Amino acid sequence: MIAISYSSSANLGPGYDILSMGHDAFYDEVEVLEDHSNEIKISGDGIPLDYKKNTAGLSASMILNDYGIKTGIKINIKKGIPAGLGLGSSGASAAAAVRAINKLFNLGMSHDEMVHYSMHGEIAACGSAHPDNVSSGIYGGITLVQSKNPVKIKKLKINLNFSILLVIPEFFMENKTMYARSLVPSKITMDEHIESTQRLSSLISGLITGDRDLVSYGMNDNIVERARIRMFPYYYDLKRRVIENNAISACISGAGPTVLILYDDKSDYNGILRSVDDVMRSYNIKYILKKSRIMEAYND
Ligand SMILES: Nc1ncnc2c1ncn2[C@@H]1O[C@H](COP(=O)(O)OP(=O)(O)O)[C@@H](O)[C@H]1O
Ligand SMILES: N[C@@H](CCOP(=O)(O)O)C(=O)O
């Protein structure tokens, strides 16, 4: 059985571990076959092949255990999403594997149940079962984590027209998200809480009502992005310059280093491209650009 899952940008500024946007920039394809060895075998390029260290393998082992499935499986992962760049690569393999296993063994899981098993797989990548990337990897679109335990996900009905530009630095850090999560403060002040809640509620409201200004205001974060800024020192300059060119907004994609830019027909697209190039050159960082759209939904 084969399933795919697309790249995603988690957090969207103030929605740390809450919001995620699936996009059609890249995808992983995962094939799951029954195997009579009673083991979980993994194949794939550039990823851990020990099932306990691979997000897809870890999700699979939890499902086999919980459902009492005695047979072994073979998981063939075709990586389309580059890993370690904030594009939800680790979560996508898990989400695609869970979707494939659900179909292969006819388990009839709900979407939230599939998110539950997929987020468990993220432990293999970063030591933490964060549910945001895998939520959009299972539901598609822009998702909101209402609750993690039990998993309850809401897919937002978006009424804002925009396109996506991803600025993807050429960079690799093993265990990047694990490190990035270690930088996040464990306590914040009441003023920070209030500002962050204003931003998050404005962002969600703007996306649903199609209010461009609310999205521009809301897609800002002074807690998690700021705590991680040493990982992407070009970010504030890049953001300022693309907003001068009337981008809707920009944020760090997941734990970075990729930057997600939202733009529309009011934006000066060529000006955005020029300013991205100026800033990235000034920091001496090579990058690629990827235009994409929201990945709206999966068929299963
Ligand atoms: N199936 C998988 N796909 C991608 N990365 C995986 C997978 N399984 C485990 N990993 C590990 O997860 C890490 C990448 O995940 P992470 O740091 O969260 O970045 P991202 O999810 O942004 O690509 C790498 O260290 C990689 O070895
Ligand atoms: N909410 C997580 C999202 C990590 O996304 P990734 O694509 O960088 O793995 C975080 O910010 O730690």
Q: What is the mean pLDDT of each run of 10 residues along the chain (300 residues)?
A: 97 98 98 93 96 97 96 97 96 98 97 98 94 97 97 97 97 89 97 98 98 98 97 97 98 98 98 98 97 90
Q: What is the pLDDT of residue 23?
A: 98
ipTM above threshold 0.95: yes
* Ligand 2 geometric centre to CA of 38 (Å): 33
Q: Which residues of 277-296 are buried (b: 16+ CB within 10 A; e: fewer)?
A: eebbeeeebebeebebebbe
| 189: its two tokens | 């002040």
| Rounded CA separation 6/25 (Å) | 7
Give the ligand with the smallest distance to the CA of 20: 2
Measured by CA distance, the residue closest to atom 4 of ligand 1 is: 90
Pocket of ligand 2 (CB under 6 A): 10-11, 16-17, 86-88, 90, 130, 132-133, 177, 180-181, 254-255
Region for residue 60 given its phi and psi (left: phi exceeds 0; alpha: psi -120 to 50; beta: otherwise): alpha
Q: For atom 3 of ligand 2, which residue has the closest CA?
A: 254
Written as six digits, the tokens of 150 are: 């039990």
Say how many Å lie between the CA of residue 34 and the centre of ligand 2: 31
Return d(Cα 35, Cα 248) in angstroms, integer. Answer: 49
* Alpha-carbon 248 to chain mean position: 20
pLDDT at 160: 97
Q: Which residues does 211 contact at the CB level (< 8 Å), separation at least 6?
A: 160, 205
pLDDT of 213 reads 98
**Of the residues 16, 79, 89, 130, which should be mutated to test ligand 2's pocket, given the most ligand atoms within 8 Å of the CB?**
130
What is the rounded distance in angstroms from the CA atom of residue 46 to the CA atom of residue 32? 18
Give the ligand with the smallest distance to the CA of 75. 1
13, 197 in Cβ contact below 8 A?
no
Q: Give the helix/strand (H/E) hosting 100.
A: helix 89-104
- Is residue 100 within 8 Å of residue 31, measured between CB atoms? yes
State how beta strands 151-155 and 15-35 pair.
Answer: unpaired
Amino acid occupying residue 35: D
pLDDT given at position 299: 79
Radius of gyration of the chain (CA): 19
Number of H helices, E strands in the chain: 10, 10
DSSP structural state of residue 37: T
**Exposure string over 122-148, b if 16+ CB within 10 A, otherwise e:** bbbbbeebbbbbbbbbbbbbbbbbeeb
- Evaluate whether 10 touches 128 at the Cβ level (below 8 Å): no
Q: Atom 5 of ligand 2 has which residue's CA nearest to it?
A: 254
Q: Give all domains of the chain, ordered by start, each with its CATH number.
A: 2-155 (3.30.230.10), 163-292 (3.30.70.890)
Dist. CA 128–CA 121, nearest whole Å: 9
Reported as half-sphere exposure (CB side, CA atoms, 13 A), residue 113 has a value of 12
Q: How far is the CA of 160 from the centre of ligand 1 (A)?
A: 31
The encoded tokens of residue 282 equal 């000034």
Q: Give the model's pLDDT for residue 151.
A: 98
Task: Tell me if 57 is assigned to a ligand binding site.
Answer: no
